[in-house]
C-alpha cells in the first residue's frame, strides 16, 4: 500500500502532465472502508485558490477516477464566474 506522500506525488505528477500547472493536489485522505486515497484538486493561481474536484487512487496508487480537464474548467467557471479566463 502506498503512503500519503506517494499518493500526493502521483496526483501532482498526473495533474501537471495531463491538466496543467494552475491546478494542484490537496492533502490525500485514505478511506479505509473503500480502500482508496481521495485527493482534492485545487485551482491555484495568484487570483484565487479554490477546490475543483477530487481524484481517487486505489491503495496501490492506480488512478481510479479523475475529472477531465474540461470538467475541471467548467467547475472553475461556475465557482469563479468573472470574465477572467481560468486556464487549467
Q: What pLDDT does residue 77 have?
A: 78
Nearest alpha carbon to residue 69 among 44, 41, 49, 48? 41
Could you list the residue range(s) of the whole structural domain that residue 51 is in?
A: 4-79
Neighbouring residues of 69: CB distance < 8 A, sequence distance ≥ 6: 18, 19, 20, 88
Establish if 68 belongs to a structural domain.
yes
Total count of domains within the chain: 1
Q: What pLDDT does residue 83 have?
A: 53
Establish if 18 belongs to a structural domain.
yes
Q: What pLDDT does residue 82 have?
A: 61
Phi, then psi, of 42 in degrees rounded to 5: -115, 145
Nearest alpha carbon to residue 45 among 75, 10, 12, 21? 21
Q: What is the pLDDT along the chain (88 residues), one digit of tens a residue?
A: 999 999 999 999 999 999 888 899 999 999 999 999 999 999 887 777 889 999 999 999 999 999 988 898 888 777 766 655 555 4
Q: Which pTM does this prediction carry?
A: 0.83
Q: What pLDDT does residue 85 have?
A: 56
Amino acid at each position: 500500500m502506498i503512503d500519503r506522500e506517494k499518493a500526493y506525488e502521483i496526483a501532482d505528477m498526473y495533474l501537471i502532465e495531463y491538466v496543467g500547472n494552475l491546478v494542484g493536489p490537496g492533502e490525500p485522505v485514505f478511506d479505509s472502508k473503500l480502500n482508496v486515497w481521495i485527493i482534492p484538486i485545487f485551482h491555484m493561481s495568484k487570483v484565487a485558490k479554490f477546490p475543483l474536484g477530487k481524484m481517487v487512487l486505489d491503495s496501490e496508487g492506480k488512478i481510479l477516477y479523475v475529472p477531465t480537464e474540461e470538467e475541471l474548467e467548467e467547475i472553475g467557471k461556475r465557482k469563479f464566474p468573472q470574465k477572467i479566463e481560468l486556464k487549467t
